[in-house]
A and B are shown apart, each in its own frame.
Chain A
Amino acid sequence: MPPLVVEGITDAVFFCGLLRRHLSEVRVNFMDQPGKHRIPASVTGLQADGSLLEFDFRNQDPETGGGRDRIPEAVRALIRDIGVLHLAVAKDLDGNTPDIVVRSIRDVVLNLLGGPIENVSEEKFRIQNVRLANIPKGQWVTVAVIPMGLYDDPDLKALGITRHAMEDYLIKMLLLDESLRPGLPQFRQLLLDLLNVIRGESYKVSIDSSKELFQLVKPVVKVAGNRFNDTGVINALFDKANSAILESVVAPVRGQLQQAVAL
C-alpha cells in the first residue's frame, strides 16, 4: 500500500474519518514516538469485497505544522532517498484547478526521475527512472494525486469560497446535513450574514478559503465537546453525519483513494 502524503494532521484525521465510515474492521494506528501519540500514523480496514485498504500518512508533524509547502520536499525525499515506488499525494486545490495541482506534483517527480511519463488516469501517472541511484534504471514510479476540495461547487461559490481545501467537504457536510448542526436550521443564511459582516466596511476581512471559514463556524455548530479542537470536531462530524449525505459529499474523494491504491 502506498504512503499517503498529506498536508497536515487534520487531513490525516479527515481520511481516517472518511474510511472509518466506509470500511469495516477499521483500525487507526497512532504514531509511537514520544509527543506524537495522538497523530494518526496509518489507517487500515476491509472494503466491501473483503480486500484490505491501508494508508500510511506522511507530512504531519505538529511542531512544523506540516503544510502544503513541504509536500514537494516530502515527495522528493520519499522517492529519492527511500526509493518509494508507489505513493499518493493529497494536496489542497487552494486557488488552482485540479489539473494544475496534478501537474505541480508531476513536475516534481519528473524532475527527479527524468524518464518518460505515462498517464494512468487524470490524476494518476507513472514515470520511468533514468536518473536516481536508489531506484533501478528503467523502473516505473507511480504517483496518484488527490486534489482536495470541491472545485466549482455552487454552494461554496455562493459563499465566496475560491480557495479550496479539505475543509470544503466539512463545510458542505454542514450545509447539507441538519443533524450536524442542531438548533441552526438557517445555517446557510447564518454563514452568509457572518461573511457579509466580516467582509463588510467595518472589518474588511477577506475570507475566501474554506480553511478560514471552517475555523469561524467550528465553535458555532457545537458538534463536539471541545469546539476548538480540529481533530475532535472532524471526528464528530464523521461520527454523526447522515450516511446518504456523507456519501454524496465524500464519494469522489473515496474513489480517488481507492484508485490511488490500485497499481
Chain B
Amino acid sequence: MLKSLEIKNFKGIKEGTISDLAQVNVLVGRNNSGKSTVLDALLLMRYVFVITDYLGNDGLEWTIKRRVERGNVNYRELHYMLNTQEPIYLQAAFTDGAKVVQQWGVVSRQLNLSSDVGGNTKGHGTVQMDPSWIRTPENFRSSSQFENVASHIGYDNATLIALGHLLDPSTIRFPFLERFWEKIVLDRRDRVLRDMINGIHKLNIEGFSLMPFAGHNRLVALLPDRSVAVDWLGDGLRYALNILALGMLLEGTILMVEEPETHQHPESLKLLTRTLFELARRQNLQLFLTTHSWELMTYSLEAAEQTGVELAMHHVRLNDKGMFDTRSIPLPDAKLLLDIGHDIRLSDKYIGAR
C-alpha cells in the first residue's frame, strides 16, 4: 500500500509530500490546493507501467487533457510554472519499505526510474524519451532496466501495474461502461453491481444488458416495465455506476475518485460511501477521494467505523510559491475535530503562513 508520495515540479506543486496515507484517504482543501495534482501524479507514475487505463485512455495524454479538451498535448503543462528546465520528480513509498522514484525531464528527454527496498537501490534505469513521450514507456518496459526496477516494486503482483485509476465527474459523459462490460458479465458481477445501485438509489433495476442501438451497442438498465439506456439515466446514478463498476474490477491497487458526491442525494451518498469502503476492504483497494462535501467527510467517518477500514483525512493547501503542505488526520482525531465543530476543510484559516 502506498504510504507517502513526494512531488516536485509537477503542475501547481513546486515541492511537497503527502504522507501517513491510509487505506481510504479523503483529501480536502480549497480549490487549487493540489488535491487533484496528487491524483495526477499517481497517474503519471502509473504511466511507466501501464499506458492505457481501463477506460481506454492514454494515461499521460488524459492527465494533461482531462481538464480542457485541447488539440495538442503540450507536455510543458506538466511542469511547475511550465519550467521544463527542472525535471518532474515523484517518489512513492510503500508500507513494505519499497520506494520508487521517477524523474521526467523534457529538456533532457530522459526518464530516470529507480526503486529501492530498505535504503538499498535494487534497480534503476534511464531511457531516452522520444519527442512525443507517448511511446517511451513501452520502450522502457521492454528493457532490462525496467525489469530490474519492476521486480522490486511488486510489478508482477500488480501493486503497481495499476498504481492509479481515476474517475472524475467528467467520466459520466462517456459511455465507458461498455468498454469493460464483458469483464463484469463474465462472472456475473453485473448482479452485484445491480444490487449495489438498487440499494444506493432505491431503484428496482432487474439487470443491465448491452443492446444494439443506432449501429452500436448501448448499455441498458432493465426496469420492470421498460428498458432505459444508462446514458439517459440521471447523472448521480451514472457516476455511482461508473465508480462501483470500476471498483469491482480492480484488486490490490489504487482507485481514485474525484468528488464522489457529485450529483448524489445525501442519502445516496451515504450508501455509496459505505459501499466504497466495503469494496476497499473486499478487493484490497486503496482509495483516494477528493471532496468539498461535509456529508462525504462525516459519512466516511461512519463507514470507517462500520467497516473497520483504516481512514485518514488529509487537509491540503498550496501557497503562492508552490509549496504543498498536507496534514494527515487519523480517524479518532478526525471524528473528534468534526464533533467539536472544527470544519477540517477550512483549517487554513488557523494555520500560519509557510
B339 touches A64 (CB 8 A): yes
User: What is the CB-to-nearest-CB distance from B95 to chain A, in angstroms, rounded to a whole number?
Assistant: 19
A81 touches B339 (CB 8 A): no
A136 touches B354 (CB 8 A): yes
| Chain B residues whose C-beta falls within 8 Å of the C-beta of A36 in the assembled complex | 341
A134 touches B341 (CB 8 A): no
Q: Which of B294, B295, B329 contacts A81 (CB 8 A)?
A: B329
User: Is B327 located at the chain interface by the 8 A CB criterion?
Assistant: yes
Give the A-B pair count, Cβ closer than 8 A.
73
- Chain B binding site: helix, strand, loop or mixed by DSSP? helix
Q: Which of A39, A58, A84 contacts B351 (CB 8 A)?
A: A84
User: Is B337 located at the chain interface by the 8 A CB criterion?
Assistant: yes
In the complex, A147 Cα to B298 Cα: how many Å?
Answer: 32
B340 touches A85 (CB 8 A): no
| Chain A residues whose C-beta falls within 8 Å of the C-beta of B349 in the assembled complex | 56
Q: Which of B266, B327, B334, B340 contacts A83 (CB 8 A)?
A: B327
Q: Number of A interface residues, CB 8 Å?
A: 35
A61 touches B341 (CB 8 A): yes
User: What is the CB-to-nearest-CB distance from A33 to chain B, in angstroms, rounded to a whole number?
Assistant: 6
In the complex, A84 Cα to B342 Cα: how many Å?
Answer: 11
User: What is the CB-to-nearest-CB distance from A29 to chain B, in angstroms, rounded to a whole number?
Assistant: 11
User: What is the CB-to-nearest-CB distance from B122 to chain A, in angstroms, rounded to a whole number?
Assistant: 28
| Chain A residues whose C-beta falls within 8 Å of the C-beta of B350 in the assembled complex | 2-3, 78, 82-87
Closest residue of chain B to A32, judged by CB?
Answer: B294
| Chain B residues whose C-beta falls within 8 Å of the C-beta of A80 in the assembled complex | 333
User: Is B344 located at the chain interface by the 8 A CB criterion?
Assistant: yes
B340 touches A5 (CB 8 A): yes
User: Is A74 located at the chain interface by the 8 A CB criterion?
Assistant: yes
Closest residue of chain A to B19, judged by CB?
Answer: A133
B340 touches A70 (CB 8 A): yes
| Chain B residues whose C-beta falls within 8 Å of the C-beta of A34 in the assembled complex | 266, 295
User: Is B194 located at the chain interface by the 8 A CB criterion?
Assistant: no
A-B contact sample (13 more), CB < 8 A, given A5-B340, A74-B336, A85-B351? A3-B350, A34-B266, A39-B341, A56-B341, A56-B349, A58-B341, A61-B339, A63-B339, A66-B340, A74-B340, A83-B327, A84-B351, A139-B352
